């Protein structure tokens, strides 16, 4: 039986809330703190502020037992052995990470250190942040014997966050002393020893009692760089395949076949080779920029990182131009935008390529009807409904009377559209797919002109109606 550790998680966002629920799930006592009073109230009353698979069930099970929610950071720190910092580290103006939220939290922690504490960086931070946290604590007069700072980067993805947390490819702990590593070992023991996986009701995934999660112990600097380098490398894979997609399109090749062919080389691997609108989200864009800044600060010319970003930015332009060439002009055109979130299975719209593209279409004079299975409310908060921007509750309603349907987010719902019904409701059967969710031949067979990324377009012989008539030719 693993030992329960008292844990404080600061930040109840996509990372903090998932970490808090998962630590409770593996047997620890958790206080999750946020300074957003409304959010904490919602959590205390049984609400779940983010859309994330398995999270509502975990919170329902552990709320007020393994995990409690509070705004009292000092009290939570006093009664915890390990303090996980999971606040935001957004991009600052220079490209560097803005660490002001981390600093504010560390200053508050300093006032409440009583007894030995392990202070854990869970937020994504640049190398040497660990040292800075230590220095800030010293400046506030905290006894150096009473704490250690550990880097424990998080690799979860939104949409699969709970499963990623409980079934990780690896758990990285960067520390410079044995005492804090021992505390971290105790915290993760149910996953690294495997006992969690044989527990009744344990969430199933890639790890098991015989194949538990590996723990990797490194220096703090190495752990900090592992996080930035991992995100930058994943972003590189995406930009690489997008650059190849653009070449493929120029020579009438098919990027899906190319990605499958490349990905079956075990040294390359099939993941993160999906061409499309480029990466968005709250992490890849800011982490590639922050990693570049870190390298520049050390006098290292890591130009590859700016190329990754440039290719990524270009994808949105390329998509926009595809819409333009499919429709000739955009002023007054009715477009159905399927997707608002930065990727499927999340309500997160931060740095979403979909929102960026919708803004460009609106600027060009189009009228957009948007639908997303989870992100409509968040989108409305930043792009309020207007005469030229309507939000729909259903993809067929959004597509009704559309001059073209645009697929902007890779929700599985958008990969399983009833194409006969779609063809009946649209004005013209034109689909511009930024996520390559369909085979061109299937779309042609259903009477659509289909334009996607890195593949030859298929044209419907007769762009007008009669509705539902299947009369397609592949170019
Ligand atoms: P988020 O914006 O969803 O959540 C941050 C939370 O911290 C907010 O609820 C905010 O109110 C709270 N907060 C800010 N200042 C506070 C303070 N002084 N006291 C208490 N609470 C405070 O952010 P996120 O997406 O969870 O990301 C957090 C960190 O984790 C970032 O560094 C990010 O790069 C990293 N990360 C994110 C993901 C992801 O998928 N979102 C994955 C891995 C790592
Ligand atoms: C990413 C990483 O995958 C996580 O390991 C990491 O912890 C997290 O960032 C972070 O540090 O915040 P996330 O941003 O949730 O997770 O989502 P991903 O699934 O990585 O997708 C990121 C973006 O890349 C999305 O816009 C997605 O549509 C795009 N993408 C992904 C592609 O365009 N092609 C692909 O093949 C994969």
Does residue 190 share a domain with residue 141? Answer: yes
> Does pLDDT of 473 surpass 70?
no
Per the listing, tokens 């949105």 go with 316
Can you give the CATH number for the domain in which 425 is found? Answer: 3.40.50.720
Does residue 148 share a domain with residue 36? Answer: yes
pLDDT for 471 equals 33
Sign of the C-alpha dihedral computed for residues 456, 462, 467 and 473 taken in this order: negative
pLDDT band at 462 (very low <50, low <70, confident <90, very high): low
Distance 157 CA to ligand 2 centre (A): 6
Query: Does the Cβ of 38 fall within 6 Å of ligand 1?
Result: no
Does residue 52 share a domain with residue 180? Answer: yes
Q: Beta 367-371 vs 389-391: how paired, if at all?
A: parallel
H or E stretch covering 339: none
pLDDT for 459 equals 84
* Average pLDDT rounded to a whole number, residues 191-200: 97
Please tell me which residue in 8, 32, 163, 283 is annotated as part of the active site: 283
Query: Does the Cβ of 156 fall within 6 Å of ligand 1?
Result: yes
Q: What is the count of structural domains for the chain?
A: 3
Q: Do 371 and 397 contact (CB within 8 A), yes or no?
A: yes
Active site residue 32: no
Domain presence at residue 1:
no
Strands (E), 66-105: 67-70, 82-85
Does residue 297 share a domain with residue 361? Answer: no
Among 279, 313, 407, 408, residue to substitute to test ligand 2 (most atoms within 8 Å of Cβ): 279
State which ligand 2 atom lies nearest to the alpha carbon of 230.
Answer: 5
Q: Do 371 and 398 contact (CB within 8 A), yes or no?
A: yes
Query: Does the Cβ of 422 fall within 6 Å of ligand 1?
Result: no
Which amino acid residue places its CA nearest to atom 29 of ligand 1?
123
Q: Do 45 and 37 contact (CB within 8 A), yes or no?
A: no
Distances in Å between the Cα of 52 and the Cα atoms of 30, 49, 248 are 19, 9, 35
Where do the H-state alpha helices sit in 140-269?
Answer: 161-166, 178-192, 220-250, 255-263
Does residue 233 share a domain with residue 214? Answer: no
Please name which of 405, 394, 471, 463 lies closest in space to residue 435, comparing C-alpha atoms: 405
> Does pLDDT of 174 surpass 90?
yes
Domain presence at residue 223:
no
Among 151, 153, 158, residue to substitute to test ligand 2 (most atoms within 8 Å of Cβ): 158
Distance 373 CA to ligand 2 centre (A): 19
Residues in the chain: 475
Q: Whole-angstrom Cα distance, residue 33 to residue 36? A: 9
State which ligand 2 atom lies nearest to the alpha carbon of 160.
Answer: 15
Tokens of 139: 């400046």
Domain presence at residue 474:
no
> Does pLDDT of 464 surpass 80?
no
Does residue 322 share a domain with residue 307? Answer: no
Does residue 256 share a domain with residue 323? Answer: no
Last residue of a domain, one of 218, 238, 262: 218
Does residue 207 share a domain with residue 121? Answer: yes
Does residue 338 share a domain with residue 239? Answer: no
pLDDT for 461 equals 62
Query: Does the Cβ of 275 fall within 6 Å of ligand 1?
Result: no
Domain span including residue 302: 228-311
pLDDT for 468 equals 38
- Burial group, residue 298, by CB count within 10 angstroms (0-12, 13-18, 19+): exposed
The overall average pLDDT reported for the chain is: 95
Q: Do 429 and 465 contact (CB within 8 A), yes or no?
A: no
Can you give the CATH number for the domain in which 303 is found? Answer: 1.10.1040.10
Last residue of a domain, one of 263, 281, 311: 311
Q: Do 189 and 2 contact (CB within 8 A), yes or no?
A: yes
Does residue 161 share a domain with residue 14? Answer: yes
Q: Whole-angstrom Cα distance, residue 86 to residue 208? A: 27
Domain presence at residue 131:
yes
Domain presence at residue 475:
no
State which ligand 1 atom lies nearest to the alpha carbon of 104.
Answer: 18
Query: Does the Cβ of 164 fall within 6 Å of ligand 1?
Result: no
Question: Cα-flanking dihedrals φ and ψ of residue 397, to 5°?
Answer: -65, -45
Biggest CA-to-CA distance, the chain: 79
> Does pLDDT of 227 surpass 60?
yes
Task: Name the packing angle between helices 55-62 and 16-25 (round to 10°).
Answer: 60
Distance 262 CA to ligand 2 centre (A): 20
Domain presence at residue 370:
yes
Q: Whole-angstrom Cα distance, residue 221 to residue 241? A: 30
Which amino acid residue places its CA nearest to atom 1 of ligand 2?
157
Give residue-wise pLDDT tens across range 340-399.
999 999 999 999 999 999 999 999 999 999 999 999 999 999 999 999 999 999 999 999
Please name which of 192, 197, 202 lies closest in space to residue 170, comparing C-alpha atoms: 192
Give residue-wise pLDDT tens across range 136-156.
999 999 999 999 999 999 999
Distance 15 CA to ligand 1 centre (A): 6
Q: Which residues does ligand 2 sit against, CB inside 6 Å?
A: 124, 154-158, 231, 234, 238, 272-274, 276, 278-281, 283-284, 342-343
H or E stretch covering 108: helix 100-110
Domain presence at residue 176:
yes
Does residue 335 share a domain with residue 305? Answer: no
Last residue of a domain, one of 265, 292, 311: 311
H or E stretch covering 177: none
Give residue-wise pLDDT tens across range 390-447.
999 999 999 999 999 999 999 999 999 999 999 999 999 999 999 999 999 999 999 9
Query: Does the Cβ of 35 fall within 6 Å of ligand 1?
Result: yes
Sign of the C-alpha dihedral computed for residues 271, 274, 278 and 281 taken in this order: negative
Among 155, 271, 283, 356, residue to substitute to test ligand 2 (most atoms within 8 Å of Cβ): 283
Which amino acid residue places its CA nearest to atom 17 of ligand 1?
35
Looking at all shown ligands, the one closest to residue 454's CA atom is 2
> Does pLDDT of 2 surpass 90?
no
Domain presence at residue 324:
yes
**Residue 405: strand pairing partners:** 336, 431
Q: Do 8 and 80 contact (CB within 8 A), yes or no?
A: yes
Does residue 12 share a domain with residue 161? Answer: yes
Query: Does the Cβ of 88 fall within 6 Å of ligand 1?
Result: yes
pLDDT for 466 equals 41
């Amino acid at each position: 039986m693993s030992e329960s550790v008292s844990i404080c998680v600061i930040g109840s966002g996509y990372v903090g809330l998932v970490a808090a629920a998962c630590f409770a799930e593996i047997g620890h006592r958790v206080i999750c703190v946020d300074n957003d009073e409304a959010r904490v109230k919602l959590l205390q009353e049984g609400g779940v502020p983010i859309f994330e698979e398995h999270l509502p069930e975990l919170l329902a099970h552990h709320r007020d037992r393994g995990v409690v929610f509070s705004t009292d950071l000092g009290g939570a720190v006093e009664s915890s052995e390990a303090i996980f910092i999971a606040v935001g580290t957004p991009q600052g103006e220079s490209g560097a990470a803005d660490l002001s939220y981390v600093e504010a939290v560390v200053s508050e922690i300093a006032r409440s250190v009583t007894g030995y504490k392990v202070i854990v960086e869970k937020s994504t931070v640049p190398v040497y942040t660990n040292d800075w946290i230590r220095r800030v604590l010293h400046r506030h007069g905290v006894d150096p014997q009473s704490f250690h700072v550990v880097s424990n980067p998080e690799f979860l993805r939104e949409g699969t966050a709970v499963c990623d947390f409980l079934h990780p490819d690896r758990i990285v702990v960067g520390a410079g002393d044995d005492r804090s590593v021992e505390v971290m070992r105790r915290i993760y023991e149910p996953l690294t020893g495997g006992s969690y996986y044989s527990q009744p009701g344990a969430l199933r995934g890639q790890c098991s009692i015989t194949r538990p999660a590996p723990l990797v112990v490194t220096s703090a600097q190495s752990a900090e760089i592992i996080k930035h380098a991992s995100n930058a490398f994943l972003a590189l894979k995406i930009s690489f395949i997008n650059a190849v997609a653009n070449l493929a399109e120029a020579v009438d090749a098919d990027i899906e076949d190319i990605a499958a062919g490349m990905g079956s080389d075990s040294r390359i691997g099939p993941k993160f080779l999906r061409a499309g609108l480029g990466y968005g989200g709250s992490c890849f864009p800011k982490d590639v920029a922050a990693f570049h800044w870190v390298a520049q600060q050390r006098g290292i010319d890591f130009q590859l990182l700016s190329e990754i970003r440039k290719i990524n930015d270009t994808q949105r332009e390329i998509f926009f131009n595809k819409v333009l060439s499919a429709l000739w002009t955009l002023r007054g055109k009715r477009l159905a935008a399927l997707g608002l979130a930065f990727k499927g299975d999340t309500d997160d719209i931060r740095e979403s390529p979909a929102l960026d593209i919708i803004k460009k279409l609106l600027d060009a004079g189009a009228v957009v009807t948007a639908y997303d299975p989870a992100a409509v409310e968040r989108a409305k908060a930043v792009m309020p409904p207007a005469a030229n921007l309507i939000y729909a509750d259903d993809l067929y309603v959004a597509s009704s009377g559309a001059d073209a349907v645009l697929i902007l987010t890779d929700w599985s719902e958008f990969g399983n559209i009833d194409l006969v019904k779609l063809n009946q409701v649209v004005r013209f059967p034109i689909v511009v797919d930024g996520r390559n969710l369909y085979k061109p031949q299937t779309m042609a067979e259903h009477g659509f002109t289909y334009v996607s990324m890195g593949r030859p377009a298929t044209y419907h012989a007769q762009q007008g109606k009669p509705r539902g008539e299947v009369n397609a030719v592949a170019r």
